[in-house]
Amino acid sequence: MKMERRLLLYDMERKYLAFDLETAKVLPENMPDWKSHRPLEISCGATLCDDELALWAGKEQMTQEECAELVQYLKTKATQF
């Protein structure tokens, strides 16, 4: 029981940075080789850093500038740890 408590306390002290992207291109179901359909383009994304949720979206797809902004955000947050 003491070990479980230590693990829970350790996990509470960690900082987290997570992200998820959705591709803009619709692919056929059960497509094993999705790389052959590149570029897939990004339609939207979400980031979660501790309790800070940020959403990223373009109209149909995110522009190169919007994607660069998302990457810069992730780099900045990652270096704050």
Q: What is the pLDDT along the chain (81 residues), one digit of tens a residue?
A: 344 444 444 455 667 889 999 988 888 888 888 788 888 899 999 999 888 899 989 888 999 999 999 999 999 999 987
Query: 2 in a domain, yes or no?
Result: no
- Identify the pLDDT of residue 33: 85
pTM beyond 0.75, yes or no = no
Number of domains in the chain: 1
Query: 59 in a domain, yes or no?
Result: yes
Query: 4 in a domain, yes or no?
Result: no
Query: 22 in a domain, yes or no?
Result: yes
- Identify the pLDDT of residue 8: 45
Query: 63 in a domain, yes or no?
Result: yes
Query: 40 in a domain, yes or no?
Result: yes
- Domain of residue 74: give its range: 15-27+34-79
DSSP sequence for 8-72: HHHHHH---EEEEEEESS---TT-S-GGGG----EEEEEEEETTEEEEEE-SSS--HHHHHHHHH
Query: 43 in a domain, yes or no?
Result: yes
Query: 39 in a domain, yes or no?
Result: yes
- Identify the pLDDT of residue 60: 86
